[in-house]
Amino acid sequence: MRHPLVAGNWKMNGDSESIATLISGLLEIQCEADIAVFPPHIYIPLVIAGVGGSSVAVGGQSASEHKAGAYTGETSCQMLRDVGCQYVIVGHSERRSIYGESSQQVAEKFVVAQLSGMTPILCVGETLEQRDKGETLNVIAEQLGLVIELAGLDAVCKAVVAYEPVWAIGTGKTATAEQAQSVHQDIRRQLGESGAKTRILYGGSVKAANAAELFLQPDIDGALVGGASLDVSEFSEICKLA
């Protein structure tokens, strides 16, 4: 039985005051799902200290594929783990599209993250143009396949996969529950028998209003939440629905 996970990606938002308010709200959430939040790197120690002793996990929004060295501005997986992170997001569509991260680079980050003792949340997904061309499953197979090739199938199955249709991120558009389920089912099929235990999250303008229908789908095990994770009441409701 896969236990649901709701992950809140705060992206480049917040300050000490607003994050203190978020922490206070997180500590009041009562739900059955696992909860993880991903603050901007500079606030990770603040959040870890604030949620200490609770069941809320903390992770990094990204990390370098390098262990150490002359990489100005980068943060290593070992550094994130050293300050107490349990998760790290790899391959988010914004990292791929804005910063030009390739699927090969994402695969390398995945490997380093696992070796550091963290659980990667591997993001895969297609653009609107790719969906309109009927390329969704091929795109995701390629993104997932490179990670499997480098890390091994068993390693990928022990991580978390997040399907995030790029056209639905921050746009207010959401894949229908049936569309999301179809892709989640295909991802699980690609992972084979071991994938039966792999948590696959949906990400893409998830809100309390659409979360319940998404979570009813047999292959959707939670959500990677963006903007709604900055609203404590909204995020709390999503967690309760998972």
Q: Looking at the annotation, which residues are catalytic? A: 92, 164
CB 222 within 8 A of CB 33: yes
Structure tokens at 194: 């071991």
Q: Give every CB contact of residue 205 below 8 A, 6+ residues apart in sequence.
A: 168, 169, 170, 171, 172, 173, 174, 226, 227
Closest CA to 232 of 23, 6, 84, 85: 23
81: amino acid identity, one letter = R
Task: Look up residue 129 and give its DSSP letter.
Answer: H
Give the Å distances, CA to CA, from 144 to 27, 61, 151.
Answer: 34, 19, 11
